[in-house]
Amino acid sequence: MTIRVLIVDDQMMVREGFSVLLNAMPDIEVVGEAVDGRQAVERVAELRPDVVLMDIRMPVLNGLEATREIVARDGGAKVLVLTTFDLDEYVYQALRAGASGFLLKDASARQLADGVRVVAAGEALLAPSVTRRLITEFSKLADVARPGPRASVEELTDRETEVLVLIAHGLSNAEIAERLVVAESTIKTHVSRILVKLGLRDRTQAAVFAYEARLVTPT
């Protein structure tokens, strides 16, 4: 099944470069481009891509606000944030807003294609070491939204909490199943229940929640 991708960046060379790299993959098709966040929101509604490669710093409407709008419309598109450096507060806010992960702009063609595939499959593209630094750095700088009544760790069972911690460590469902010696389908059920109980959109937001709730601490 071909993965449909929309590339959003205000630099033409970046858009064209990513387009060439991704269109060379047999299972990926670039269906469109956008030069700013506002156009991105419009093109997502028009083209219905599976994955949006989203730059953060753009005119008219930045990638953070565009991500919020795209996620809020719940059209099924996954947002993969592009950034020039990993410790970027905008990336942190984008993850909290519902982006499924992030990539550095100097990623290789293989990393870019693999990232698109991972996000399209519903997994989180989060390098645990980078994510720990990113979330720790910015969650302590401001009074960001903390888990509230609708999102409390106490609502989870012990096993669900265990699964949540492993998600935050970057493990896939298959890896969590192997670690806990259970069927992968059982882990999928736990993940679904975690998202419902905490009012979260996907496993990326679950990972952010785990860090902010101090279930996971940087080492």
Q: Could you report the per-residue pLDDT of 80-133, keeping only the tens digit for each?
A: 988 877 666 777 788 877 888 888 888 788 888 988 998 888 776 665 555 666
What residue ranges of the chain are covered by domains with CATH 3.40.50.2300?
3-125, 128-219
pLDDT at 28 over 60: yes
Under CATH, which number does the domain 128-219 receive? 3.40.50.2300
Res 1: pLDDT: 82
Amino acid at the residue 5:
V
Q: 3-125 architecture in CATH?
A: 3-Layer(aba) Sandwich (3.40)
Q: What is the largest CA-CA distance in the chain?
A: 50
d(CA 59, CA 41): 14
The pLDDT, as a whole number, for residue 147 is 46
- The predicted model scores a pTM of 0.73
Instruction: Give yes or no for residue 52 having a pLDDT over 90.
Output: yes
